[in-house]
A and B are shown apart, each in its own frame.
Chain A
Amino acid sequence: DTAVSQTPKYLVTQMGNDKSIKCEQNLGHDTMYWYKQDSKKFLKIMFSYNNKELIINETVPNRFSPKSPDKAHLNLHINSLELGDSAVYFCASSQPGHDYEQYFGPGTRLTVT
């Protein structure tokens, strides 16, 4: 059974478009995250979210916005895509009291042309 899943696995789109990446976790976790891994393989936190608060990494452009329809889902919306947004995006989740152990999804490779 997949614990943290993401769709799509690959996404190719043109500059200026708006796109979304979906994330679902079936672990019953309360907190979910989005990370970005660039071409140099550096993995950076973008957002941390639970039903109480959203923590945003200050370096993330406001073109990126997480949206959570329910506790099991945290989708990532990206407006006006730019070439520099090309990266692999990972979703993760954790449970209260065990936030050191984050479960990651398989990643979504976004290519902006």
Chain B
Amino acid sequence: DAKTTQPTSMDCAEGRAANLPCNHSTISGNEYVYWYRQIHSQGPQYIIHGLKNNETNEMASLIITEDRKSSTLILPHATLRDTAVYYCIVRASNNAGNMLTFGGGTRLMVKP
């Protein structure tokens, strides 16, 4: 699976959009981009995933660049409850065992 690079930490004001970048310059054609988050003292939570088109769901939007070498997770109106570590994961759809490989993630702090 391709390696990802994310900033260690970011701050965001409550009510503003949080834009979390992820670099995956070695991504292969059959690899998807997944985003999970982990709120303190809880298990990780799936947010969204995509292959090459932009995606949106009730939690967030995922913007993937045309060359697929980077992506951005957007939380349109961040709340204090969005404070968490956000993980960008790249994984092939036919990955044996469907295992996820988590990196260091970005620690997002939403401030009042």
Q: Which residues of A contact B (CB under 8 A)?
A: 4, 31, 33, 35, 41-45, 48, 53, 55, 57, 90, 92, 94, 99-107
* Contact call A48/B99, Cβ cutoff below 8 A: yes
Q: Please, how many angstroms separate the alpha-carbon atoms of A99 and B104 in the complex?
A: 22
| Contact, CB under 8 Å: A45 / B85 | no
Once the chains bind, are B43 and A106 in contact (CB under 8 Å)? Answer: yes
A-B contact count (CB 8 A): 56
The yes or no answer to B112 lying at the interface (CB within 8 A) is no
Given known contacts A55-B96, A100-B34, A45 and B101 CB-to-CB distance under 8 angstroms: yes
Contact of B44 among A43, A44, A48 (CB under 8 A): A43
On whether the beta carbons of B43 and A55 are closer than 8 Å, the reply is no
Q: Which of B38, B85, B91, B97 meets A48, CB within 8 Å?
A: B97
